[in-house]
């Protein structure tokens, strides 16, 4: 039903009069058919039925279309909110996982902001929220519009970049590990929050949960190795530690 309503919904101003005219034509044909079946013939010509139908149904059809259009917008908004993290505007965990399942070749990046609790404790949660939004904006800026960016929860984020080579992935990992810089509004204090990043090469052979698990292991190796760095993950016995060079924003 939702798909039918979506296809029938007027999308431009000139669709509305066409909808009214089509409805009037259908209404007129139905009335003529009923008169023919019951009375054995129509009392009025088609044109007379059409203009009567136009006069009487136009307000009702217009109101109905307005209500359907409003309902469709509300439905789309509800679906968007169900997929979106309310704080950052990124995909939420469920939506990110659903998109990830459809991917094949690429690199999965998992990142966690370093010492983020200190920001909340030292400056308050509103400032912490601003830092999270700033990191989300930076992530969107660093990747393509077609790449998948999500907030998995708290200060943990994930990105999937399709068809990216190793060198480019490491360069992106370096920039992501720099984290985000936020200036506190009241005191003007500059808050620099780095991030630890786990990278995983995906070739279509791992399921999504396994991918997240392997990238998460690499992320925690980066945490344990001093933070503000990226680590390649995959095979537990040969995790490659990689400390990115300082890259300007």
Give me the catalytic one of 130, 155, 170, 178. Answer: 155
- Tell me if 46 sits within 8 A of 105, measured CB to CB: no
Q: Buried b / exposed e across 186-208, counting CB within 10 Å, b at 16+?
A: eeeeebebbbbbbbbbbeeebeb
Rounded distance between C-alpha atoms, residue 97 and residue 11, angstroms: 32
For the question of residue 214 being annotated catalytic, the response is no
Other Cβ atoms within 10 Å of 88 Cβ, number: 21
- Tell me if 35 sits within 8 A of 43, measured CB to CB: yes
Q: Are strands 190-193 and 105-113 parallel, antiparallel or unpaired?
A: unpaired
162 — alpha (psi -120 to 50), left (phi > 0) or beta?
beta
Active site amino acids: 155
């Amino acid at each position: 039903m939702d798909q039918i309503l979506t296809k029938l919904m007027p999308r431009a101003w000139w669709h509305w009069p066409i909808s009214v005219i089509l409805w009037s034509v259908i209404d007129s044909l139905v009335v003529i058919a009923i008169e023919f079946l019951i009375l054995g013939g129509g009392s009025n010509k088609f044109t007379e039925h059409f203009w009567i139908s136009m006069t009487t149904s136009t307000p009702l059809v217009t109101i109905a279309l307005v209500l359907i259009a409003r309902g469709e917008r509300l439905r789309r908004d509800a679906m968007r909110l169900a997929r979106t993290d309310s704080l950052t505007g990124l995909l939420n965990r469920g939506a990110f996982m659903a998109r990830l399942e459809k991917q094949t070749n690429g690199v999965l990046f998992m990142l966690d902001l370093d010492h983020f609790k200190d920001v909340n404790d030292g400056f308050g949660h509103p400032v912490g929220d601003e830092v999270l939004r700033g990191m989300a904006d930076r992530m969107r800026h660093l990747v393509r519009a077609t790449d998948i960016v999500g907030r998995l929860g708290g200060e943990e984020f994930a990105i999937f970049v399709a068809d990216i080579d190793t060198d480019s992935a490491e360069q992106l990992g370096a920039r992501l590990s720099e984290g985000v810089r936020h200036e506190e509004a009241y005191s003007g204090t500059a808050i620099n929050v780095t991030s630890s990043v786990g990278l995983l090469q995906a070739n279509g052979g791992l399921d999504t949960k396994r991918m997240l698990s392997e990238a998460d292991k690499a992320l925690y190796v980066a945490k344990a190795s001093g933070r503000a760095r990226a680590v390649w993950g995959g095979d537990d016995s040969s995790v490659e530690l990689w400390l990115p060079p300082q890259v300007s924003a």
